[in-house]
Structure 1
Amino acid sequence: VTLTFYDVARIDDYYVRQASVTKDLAKVENLLTVNSVSATPQKAEVTVAYSYKEGEKVTEQKEVTLQPGTNHILLPIEIRQPHLWMPNGWGEPALYDFEAVIKVDGKVIASQKERIGLRTIKVVKEKDDQGESFYFVVNGEPMFAKGANFIPDDALLPNITEERYRQLFKDVKDANMNMIRVWGGGIYEDDVFYQAADENGILVWQDFIFACTTYPSDPAFMKRVEAEAEYNIKRLRNHASLAMWCGNNEIYEGMRYWGWDKKYTDPGIMEGMKQGYDKLFRELLPRKVAELDPDRFYMHGSPYEANWGRPESWKIADSHNWGIWYGQKPFESLDTEIPRFMSEFGFQAFPEMKTIATFASPEDYALESEVMNAHQKATIGNFLIKKTMGLYYKVPEDFDQLVYMGLVLQGVGVRQGLEAHRRNRPYCMGTLYWQLNDSWPVVSWSSIDYYGNWKALHYQAKRAFAPVLVDAVKEGEDLSIYVMSDKLEADKEVTLLLRVMDFNGKVLTKKSIKGEVPANASTLYYKEPYAGITTSPQNTFLLMTLKNKKGEVLSEEIYYFNHAKDQELPKTEIRYKVKPMDGKYEVTLSARQLARDVFIEIPVQGAKFTDNFFDLLPGQTKKVIITSDKLKKNEKVDITIKQLSDTN
């Protein structure tokens, strides 16, 4: 809460509207709403200045007469060869500093600053011969959206600091994401949230804060909604990161498919719900967006039409596919259940043991203990984690190992969906998994736990969202190898080296295929009959290495022919050395045989690892840097290393 005194006039609103933006010219309209408390008209000088980084300021001035009450002032400017704001992975998220100043009799009576990113963002939602598209075009380039859904970062909102927001966006950027969705069941986030999004090149899909139930539509409620919407639209519309407005989360789906018509048998109740929905989400909110933020896309709700149990609906706009969770489907279903845009899907995992230890005692370390169930908000959660684990892994009895295995399971499973969505562009043009973060220490779908620790899913998302990715999938009788690139330039004259190796590192077969990687696309690079690639699927793997003409590795990934439970994984010794530095530890690891899903644990909350939950190849030496402001110079820290064969 602030108390501001003024004796002539104040700036109630400063809207920097981007009338048109190209790489050659940006036309910007500076729209000021000024409230004058003077009883008589006042001659004033309005100045708008802008600068890029530490560059020289450019100013425009205008003489105006401030009438008593509300004044609307327009001051247009043009910026030639603007530095365009680019999403993460495409370039610099360039920001300009704008300032509007009002003077009366040579004295500054009001001023306001805004940081502006010059860019165009368009959402294409058009009917086509496959259904209805849904994708984002940024600065004229179609963008595959890579990211996650964001919920409030703490159950107690005053606990959320600027530092936490900024660290979270660093985690988002480091995982090669370019978008997050602010879920309608949360809050309108603090200004710092959107500033950090601007600075890191992360687009924000912004829900209005309505979710999962119907709302009143009486005049008093609608008046309050209108005031709240107007406040937040004006507050957020200057942010370069703001990509779209969405009316709500899953209310339209709930009315149609969640059995409310059976609960409320009076037909007048359901009809009132539908009419109220239209008043709020098809009339009031789109009208406010058109009035106050006319250049931004609005959609009445998410998902737009789709339902995860109805395949025909996946062809239309965005989808929430909960087949691998509530539908209890295997992860392989993600390879074929492809939407136009996946705005929600996910799978749960426990956080790692050091986080569990903050809310449970050793006597509580059991899957169905009272404490564990209190931290599990999905009715089928613990049962489903164990059931799905049995499809792919040998299920351990030890609780510590079960937690580790669950982390691995979540990461590998959700990654399968991320890669399937990316592989199927341009039919599918985005994937936002559920969910990024936690509001408290809990078993959940998150990829980062409450204390800021990356779960296996966040490392797997980073790999799945890499700028260039080579990816193998069995399609029919073939093994198809795709190369996906989000780069805006093609990689010409690349070589894909394929090596079938055993778990001891012996190369059994190899071949190289020359080609190119088109810009901003997914392409089927190579395929061959699946049968005959290996005669020992239980103890071999395919190593795929994509290099450019300079010999630089663009992507290197492993394809396993069998699920882990059917593999003869060696119980190899992982040798490691630790080199302490101020606030950092350098861990160097190696193994003579394959070590799958290597997990480095330290008892420090929120520590950052350059890599974790990775496969260590036979004979490979790998360095991992661990960073934390809680690590002191030369301080000894306990390190535990797990691998998949430990659980067999």
Structure 2
Amino acid sequence: MIVKRRLTDNWTLTRVAGPSTAPDLPNQIAASVPGTVHTDLLAAHLIPDPYLDVNEIALDWIGRSVWRYATDFDCSNQDHDHQELVFEGLDTVADIRLNGQVIGSTRNMNRSYRFNVAALLREGRNRLEVDFLPVEDYGAEVRAELGSAAEIPANYPGSWPFVRKMACNFGWDWGPTLITAGIWKPVTLESWSGARLGTVRPQVTLAGGLGRVVADVAVHGVATEHELSLTISIAGAQSTATLPAGSDQINFSLDIENPKIWWPHGLGDQPLYDLDITLTDKAGTVLDRWTRKTGFRSVRLDTSQDEHGSAFTIIVNDVPVFARGANWIPDDCFLPRVTPERYATRISQARDANINLLRVWGGGIYETREFYETCDRLGLLVWQDFLFACSAYPENEPVRSEVEAEARENVARLMPHPSLILWNGNNENIWGYFDWGWQDVLGNRPWGAGYYLDLLPKILAETDPTRPYWPGSPYSGSMDLAPNLPSHGCMHIWDVWNDVGYETYRDYIPRFCSEFGWQAPPTLATIKETVRDNAPASDSPGVLHHQKATLGNDKLLRGLEGWFPPPSTFEDWHFVTQLNQARAIKLGIEHMRSHRPVTMGAIVWQLNDCWPVTSWAAIDGAGRKKPLWYALRQAYQPHLLTIQPRDDTLKAIAVNETTLFWRVPFMIERLDVEGKVLASHKVWRVLCDRFEATEIELPAEIVTSGDPSREYLRARMGKAEAFWFFAKDKDFDYPNPEFDCREERLSDRVRVTITARTLLRDFTILADTLHPDAEVDDMLATILPGEARVFDITFGVGDIPGGFRFDPACIRTANTVARSAG
């Protein structure tokens, strides 16, 4: 049996060379593997936290230095024929030595490496060294070697398109420039004799109640005189095949009658099976074993032509699924800090917000096994980009070979996961080629199309034909069509944030929107933890440094125009921009969902952050939920009731994303600001069938306002509720918010009961301002006069912290900011 030994202990870090601006460092620094240079220096108290204040700027010397990781380890296991050092991930440009001898060099963060070291290992003490070279220097060298072929456009400066490394490490409009280096995944010494398993590619499919596993297995170290067997086991069944003498590849299958079916959450359960493949010799001795959890489900992408253009519908187990999604970026700039527990927390937050799909964006990484296993378990669909984002890419060597190697490895690595339902070629690169002036720069030079239209689909056809592939996001399905058409394929909507108000979302009826977003700052607790300006303000140095988007704060204020008066205090600015973000995205999602089945997906940019920053995220860099998260939970609820403009009037629209029909009474009222009912309309039973959007006609006395500045609509259908205000906030005659507040301390939470004495719109308790671990269970509630609402405040530490006191000063409403003047 193969023996695997993790090399995790006794690592040291040394700065070998670099710019003179670097501080003096000890010759040897204790290092963690997996880890990064930044986190090792931080743990040794040799640098300030790069996430605090403007520290990022002063730490650029780290990415421009040469770093050496080294460890000594004992080896007494010399009775095996093969000894291999396996590096699951090296970031990025590395030279590796064992006992002073070079065993290899790496130039790709996104793939693993294996080196035969049997001839170099010593009995007893051995020394392993890994030198990391400045990645930008390497990228510049490749760029120089390519000459005129390297003249390519990119959205961000630098040589990052010429090296296969996480692009957002080089800075993005939400991320810092923290160019990492280090052994970011485990290192293992593997000892074995005879043979071992190589790449295992399991195609797990479901058709007509029959589950099938087709395993394509490579075997290494095969000797011609040996006869080996492979056995595949799943769901209590197994199949054995014999590997002919001298062969190193086999393809065999196993059928399962009526397996339990894996579903996205909300549509069914997520049963997972242990898939086990063993390699045995003629005597029945197990030489190697490969085990993963997997699930049976079918998936396809419907792109058929229709009267609206061409569809873009994800179909799982023959059910067209509306993708209620969010884009996922790396959850930390320093990837080893994203533990399995952190993945579980963040993905659970996504599920709790009624999100059913995460798109893993192409400027990050091919996500880890822990990420995918969590999505498998929790029932979130995953769309995985290949790693190309916002740039043309060279198709020449040495880049092309690295692209092919990483794609083949990661497609095979992720094949067992039922949550993975779509591969996407790139982020915005086809769009850039057509609409951002790239052709003027490129001329006839290759720019990446050969990857997206040829190499990647070829790899998938050979390796994993069970999943759909789409060449880009956005992409309209043909290079003969403009890439960002609402009527074809998937589109991005960014003019709304960059140029126009968010009402413009209603001008689009996309077939599938894979990116749209609106900015807001992180929670106040996160700002206080990471910015130590004497007087925090939207434009104070620390706060402004944590805003990476060009003219981002200007756009935040411009987005308020027409809705709210200019904020007069930092606290008002903070809350109203968060509120506006939530309002913008909720409006966009409800509009798109109301057009089901023409529109079949809305993937908001973005779920999470990699550091504390003003961004488009719903969960900030400290893991705290912004008001947007609560708006997503409302807008993505399986039973949605919304009021939308249609045909020069207003209509209520019920949307049902469940497996059962929705048949309940419908009630809508037109009320004045004091809560008086001016008109009402009731339908005793509205039937909204499963996976359907149903329009509900509204009478003229409901949709016609006598005084838009003082009237609004409230509709209810079962537990679903929808509001429509006839005037924007700055023009609405909000009362000064008045309410009664009752606090009750339970064993593990503080319960706050709010009884409204006036209309309270978007009632919000900013619990994090009372305690950094405090979280409230609901936000953005509209409460009518005389009505009561209960809010529970819980704490990440479990019990109520000593000295915690609820202060109504943490309460905010739209009433307050709409009534304030700049």
State TM-score, norm by structure 2. 0.72
Separation of aligned partners in 2, 1:207 and 1:351:
26
Match of residue 366 from structure 1: 537
Match of residue 479 from structure 1: 650
Does the 8 Å CA contact 2:423/2:469 hold for their aligned counterparts? yes
* Match status 1:643 vs 2:813: yes
Does the 8 Å CA contact 1:35/1:69 hold for their aligned counterparts? no
Separation of aligned partners in 1, 2:735 and 2:496:
30
User: Could you tell me which amino acid in structure 1 is paired with residue 394 of structure 2?
Assistant: P
Separation of aligned partners in 2, 1:643 and 1:276:
50
Does the 8 Å CA contact 1:452/1:605 hold for their aligned counterparts? no
Indicate how the Cα distance of structure 1 residues 581 and 634 shifts in structure 2: closer, same or farther if over 3 A, else same.
Answer: farther
Does the 8 Å CA contact 2:611/2:621 hold for their aligned counterparts? yes
Indicate how the Cα distance of structure 1 residues 629 and 540 shifts in structure 2: closer, same or farther if over 3 A, else same.
Answer: same
Match of residue 386 from structure 2: 208
* Match status 1:340 vs 2:511: yes
Indicate how the Cα distance of structure 1 residues 199 and 351 shifts in structure 2: closer, same or farther if over 3 A, else same.
Answer: same
Name the SS of the counterpart of 1:155 in structure 2.
Answer: coil
Does the 8 Å CA contact 2:737/2:816 hold for their aligned counterparts? no
Equivalent of residue 576 in structure 1, options 733, 738, 741: 741
User: Could you tell me which amino acid in structure 2 is paired with residue 483 of structure 1?
Assistant: A
Equivalent of residue 721 in structure 2, options 522, 545, 556: 556
Does the 8 Å CA contact 2:475/2:483 hold for their aligned counterparts? no
Query: Displacement of 1:163 after TM fit?
Result: 1.2
Query: Displacement of 1:602 after TM fit?
Result: 2.6
* Match status 1:511 vs 2:681: yes
1:97-496 aligned at under 5 Å gives the runs 97-104=274-281, 105-262=283-440, 264=441, 269-272=442-445, 275-305=446-476, 313-326=485-498, 328-492=499-663, 494-496=664-666
Query: Displacement of 1:444 after TM fit?
Result: 0.6
Indicate how the Cα distance of structure 1 residues 19 and 483 shifts in structure 2: closer, same or farther if over 3 A, else same.
Answer: closer
Query: Displacement of 1:530 after TM fit?
Result: 7.2
Name the SS of the counterpart of 2:268 in structure 1.
Answer: coil
Indicate how the Cα distance of structure 1 residues 26 and 250 shifts in structure 2: closer, same or farther if over 3 A, else same.
Answer: same
Separation of aligned partners in 2, 1:114 and 1:139:
22
Match of residue 536 from structure 1: 707
Separation of aligned partners in 2, 1:260 and 1:359:
38
Task: For residues 202-222 of structure 1, give each alpha carbon's deviation from its aligned partner in whole angstroms, at most 9, with x where no partner exists.
Answer: 111111001111111113321
Match of residue 598 from structure 1: 763
Match of residue 28 from structure 1: 213
Task: For residues 306-336 of structure 1, give each alpha carbon's deviation from its aligned partner in whole angstroms, at most 9, with x where no partner exists.
Answer: 99xx89822111101112112x212221112
Name the SS of the counterpart of 2:757 in structure 1.
Answer: coil
Indicate how the Cα distance of structure 1 residues 218 and 487 shifts in structure 2: closer, same or farther if over 3 A, else same.
Answer: same
Separation of aligned partners in 1, 2:682 and 2:285:
72
Separation of aligned partners in 2, 1:79 and 1:617:
56
Match of residue 160 from structure 2: none
Does the 8 Å CA contact 1:602/1:637 hold for their aligned counterparts? no
Indicate how the Cα distance of structure 1 residues 432 and 88 shifts in structure 2: closer, same or farther if over 3 A, else same.
Answer: same
Does the 8 Å CA contact 1:422/1:429 hold for their aligned counterparts? yes
Does the 8 Å CA contact 1:356/1:441 hold for their aligned counterparts? yes
Name the SS of the counterpart of 1:436 in structure 2.
Answer: coil
Task: For residues 126-158 of structure 1, give each alpha carbon's deviation from its aligned partner in whole angstroms, at most 9, with x where no partner exists.
Answer: 233322211101100111111111111111212
Separation of aligned partners in 1, 2:801 and 2:744:
9
Separation of aligned partners in 1, 2:225 and 2:590:
65
Name the SS of the counterpart of 2:248 in structure 1.
Answer: strand
| Pairs aligned (count) | 622
Separation of aligned partners in 2, 1:363 and 1:236:
48
Name the SS of the counterpart of 1:324 in structure 2.
Answer: helix
Separation of aligned partners in 1, 2:200 and 2:616:
39
Does the 8 Å CA contact 1:49/1:99 hold for their aligned counterparts? yes
Task: For residues 366-413 of structure 1, give each alpha carbon's deviation from its aligned partner in whole angstroms, at most 9, with x where no partner exists.
Answer: 222332321112222111111221211122210111100111100011
Query: Displacement of 1:69 after TM fit?
Result: 6.1
* Match status 1:18 vs 2:190: no
Separation of aligned partners in 2, 1:298 and 1:61:
30
Query: Displacement of 1:517 after TM fit?
Result: 0.8
User: Could you tell me which amino acid in structure 1 is paired with residue 255 of structure 2?
Assistant: E
User: Could you tell me which amino acid in structure 1 is paired with residue 233 of structure 2?
Assistant: A
Task: For residues 134-188 of structure 1, give each alpha carbon's deviation from its aligned partner in whole angstroms, at most 9, with x where no partner exists.
Answer: 1101100111111111111111212211111111110111111111111111111
Does the 8 Å CA contact 2:767/2:793 hold for their aligned counterparts? no
Point out where structure 1 has 5 or more consecutive residues left out of the alignment: 52-57, 548-552
Separation of aligned partners in 1, 2:384 and 2:504:
29
Separation of aligned partners in 1, 2:491 and 2:210:
37
Separation of aligned partners in 2, 1:634 and 1:496:
43
Query: Displacement of 1:38 after TM fit?
Result: 4.3
Query: Displacement of 1:582 after TM fit?
Result: 4.9
Query: Displacement of 1:195 after TM fit?
Result: 0.8
Does the 8 Å CA contact 1:451/1:606 hold for their aligned counterparts? no
User: Could you tell me which amino acid in structure 2 is paired with residue 428 of structure 1?
Assistant: T
Larger mean CA deviation between 499-508 and 149-158 belongs to 499-508
Separation of aligned partners in 1, 2:738 and 2:316:
48
* Match status 1:620 vs 2:787: yes
Separation of aligned partners in 1, 2:698 and 2:248:
67
Equivalent of residue 797 in structure 2, options 606, 621, 630: 630
Query: Displacement of 1:340 after TM fit?
Result: 1.0
Indicate how the Cα distance of structure 1 residues 43 and 393 shifts in structure 2: closer, same or farther if over 3 A, else same.
Answer: closer
Indicate how the Cα distance of structure 1 residues 291 and 490 shifts in structure 2: closer, same or farther if over 3 A, else same.
Answer: same
Separation of aligned partners in 2, 1:184 and 1:634:
41
Larger mean CA deviation between 146-155 and 606-615 belongs to 606-615
1:34-53 aligned at under 5 Å gives the runs 34-38=219-223, 40-44=225-229, 46-51=230-235
Indicate how the Cα distance of structure 1 residues 184 and 520 shifts in structure 2: closer, same or farther if over 3 A, else same.
Answer: same
Match of residue 92 from structure 2: none
Indicate how the Cα distance of structure 1 residues 112 and 626 shifts in structure 2: closer, same or farther if over 3 A, else same.
Answer: farther
Larger mean CA deviation between 3-12 and 196-205 belongs to 3-12
Larger mean CA deviation between 148-157 and 102-111 belongs to 102-111
Indicate how the Cα distance of structure 1 residues 575 and 12 shifts in structure 2: closer, same or farther if over 3 A, else same.
Answer: farther
User: Could you tell me which amino acid in structure 2 is paired with residue 41 of structure 1?
Assistant: H
Indicate how the Cα distance of structure 1 residues 153 and 84 shifts in structure 2: closer, same or farther if over 3 A, else same.
Answer: same
Query: Displacement of 1:531 after TM fit?
Result: 7.6
Does the 8 Å CA contact 1:364/1:372 hold for their aligned counterparts? no
Point out where structure 2 has 5 or more consecutive residues left out of the alignment: 1-186
Match of residue 55 from structure 1: none
Query: Displacement of 1:63 after TM fit?
Result: 5.1
Does the 8 Å CA contact 1:574/1:589 hold for their aligned counterparts? yes
State TM-score, norm by structure 1. 0.91
Separation of aligned partners in 1, 2:604 and 2:231:
45
Match of residue 143 from structure 2: none
Query: Displacement of 1:577 after TM fit?
Result: 3.2
Match of residue 192 from structure 2: 6
* Match status 1:78 vs 2:227: no
Name the SS of the counterpart of 2:550 in structure 1.
Answer: coil
Query: Displacement of 1:426 after TM fit?
Result: 1.4
Match of residue 54 from structure 1: none
Name the SS of the counterpart of 2:659 in structure 1.
Answer: coil
Separation of aligned partners in 2, 1:127 and 1:316:
9
* Match status 1:87 vs 2:264: yes
Separation of aligned partners in 2, 1:412 and 1:257:
29
Does the 8 Å CA contact 2:202/2:214 hold for their aligned counterparts? yes
Indicate how the Cα distance of structure 1 residues 210 and 10 shifts in structure 2: closer, same or farther if over 3 A, else same.
Answer: same
* Percent of aligned pairs sharing the same letter: 31
